[in-house]
Amino acid sequence: MTTAARDRLPIDLRSDTVTQPTAAMHEAMAAAPLGDDVLEGDPTVRELEAKTAALLGKDDTIFVPSGTMANLLALRAQTSHGDEMICDEQCHIVYYETGGYAAVAGLSVRYTHGEHGLFTADDFEPLVRLWDDPHFPKPKLLAVENTHNRGGGIPWPVDRLAHVCERAHARGLRVHMDGARLWNACAATGTSPAEYAVHADSVSVCFSKGLGCPVGSALVGDRATINRARHLRKMFGGAMRQSGMLAAAAIYALDHHRERVTNDHARAQKLCDLIEGAPGITVDRSRVQTNMVYFDVDPSLGTAGDFCERVKNDVLMLDEGPTTVRAVVHLHIDDAAIERAGAAIRRAAQAE
Ligand SMILES: *Cc1c(COP(=O)(O)O)cnc(C)c1O
């Protein structure tokens, strides 16, 4: 594509999932040694699983097609039908994963109401009904999300996470961390993946978001949990064959794209600088801590959906509520793209 043609395409800020493999990532994929990962095992998948387990300081890892499957395996492997999960009311597992926690894992749920997806031990403890009373389901699992997507891409302070997990464990709960954007949380806080992961029993991570891979997530945990997850992955139809091609992209991304997510965070701040103060646009900057920018549009500009529609020739974003728009910065967004997106949003706000 010529530069001129590319300049006419809208800047895609809908999600950090829209990235395409870079040339170097393609080369790594093409060069990967492959095998049948259901029969004898694929050597590149094995390498990725060992690398991810070491990075998070856990026994074992299983490579899966999606973050949704990683979360579902974590729930199914650590609970029984009829058990109860405690989680934030806006968490991805409940909000965006087609009710799999109920339909497939058979869990009931009680919600915490924290601030932007982050809660405290005092918030969730009253929800844990441990009394020996036949009325109540058995509370078995606490789910935390890091960074919290609908909260605004907010990373957990590790001390707070440690406290919450310690109190959950004291009550006999397992803890699952949905770390689809754990890499962003690490880059924003300086906490390492292992320093976060040590507090949870299982952690899911995505390679296809901020790291820029075409496909793939992983579930990390103790050996017994991951063994159960291997059996369940086959049951769910998620066991893949020459998946080393995909794992090679993830290995490349762990080595080359993890540090650079700080650029995405800086550009999210730049986007805020550009749109803050535009008439009818409100950005709560305290919530912009990683690569996501949620902003509100005044009803005089129409609904959030109307606003996204109005700017779509220049910038693509998602409406996440009647007045709320989400813009996500990723691997393909450079400084020029941020300037252009910011200018288009300002223009659309001023046109009313
Ligand atoms: C994207 C995402 C997932 C998983 O999404 P898939 O599209 O299934 O890979 C899980 N949790 C969070 C917080 C996410 O943002």
The 3-class SS string of 203-243 reads: EEEECCCCCCCCCCEEEEECHHHHHHHHHHHHHCCCCCCCC
User: Residue type for 28, please?
Assistant: A
The model carries a pTM of 0.96
Indicate the pairing of strand 324-328 with strand 174-179: unpaired
Q: Is 217 in the pocket of ligand 1 (CB under 6 A)?
A: yes
Is the distance from CB of 77 to CB of 228 less than 8 angstroms?
A: yes
Q: Which residues of 199-234 are buried (b: 16+ CB within 10 A; e: fewer)?
A: bbbbbbbbbbbbbbbbbbbbbbbeeebbebbbebbe
Closest ligand 1 atom to residue 178 Cα is 11
Closest ligand 1 atom to residue 66 Cα is 9
What spacing in Å lies between the alpha carbon of 300 and ligand 1's midpoint?
Answer: 33
| DSSP code at position 65 | S
Atom 10 in ligand 1: residue holding the nearest Cα: 67
Q: Is 16 in the pocket of ligand 1 (CB under 6 A)?
A: no
Ligand 1 pocket mutation, candidates 66, 95, 96, criterion most atoms within 8 A of CB = 96
| DSSP code at position 97 | S
Closest ligand 1 atom to residue 65 Cα is 9
Atom 4 in ligand 1: residue holding the nearest Cα: 67
Q: Is 78 in the pocket of ligand 1 (CB under 6 A)?
A: no
What spacing in Å lies between the alpha carbon of 352 and ligand 1's midpoint?
Answer: 35
DSSP-assigned letters across all residues of 256-270: HTSTTHHHHHHHHHH
What spacing in Å lies between the alpha carbon of 92 and ligand 1's midpoint?
Answer: 7
Residues 6+ apart with CB under 8 A from 167: 121, 124, 125
Extract the tokens encoding 75: 């729930």
What spacing in Å lies between the alpha carbon of 43 and ligand 1's midpoint?
Answer: 26
CA gap 97, 104 in Å, rounded: 11
Question: Could you tell me where the DSSP H helices lie in the chain?
Answer: 3-8, 23-31, 43-56, 67-78, 92-95, 100-103, 121-124, 158-170, 182-189, 193-197, 223-235, 244-256, 261-275, 304-311, 335-350
pLDDT, one tens digit for every residue, the chain (352 residues): 666 666 789 999 999 999 999 999 999 999 999 999 999 999 999 999 999 999 999 999 999 999 999 999 999 999 999 999 999 999 999 999 999 999 999 999 999 999 999 999 999 999 999 888 899 999 999 999 999 999 999 999 999 999 999 999 999 999 999 999 999 999 999 999 999 999 999 999 999 999 999 999 999 999 999 999 999 999 999 999 999 999 999 999 999 999 999 999 999 999 999 999 999 999 999 999 999 999 999 999 999 999 999 999 999 999 999 999 999 999 999 999 999 999 999 999 987 5
Atom 5 in ligand 1: residue holding the nearest Cα: 67
Ligand 1 pocket mutation, candidates 87, 92, 202, criterion most atoms within 8 A of CB = 92
Residues 6+ apart with CB under 8 A from 171: 125, 128, 130, 139
Q: Is 149 in the pocket of ligand 1 (CB under 6 A)?
A: yes
Q: Is 178 in the pocket of ligand 1 (CB under 6 A)?
A: yes
Closest ligand 1 atom to residue 97 Cα is 8
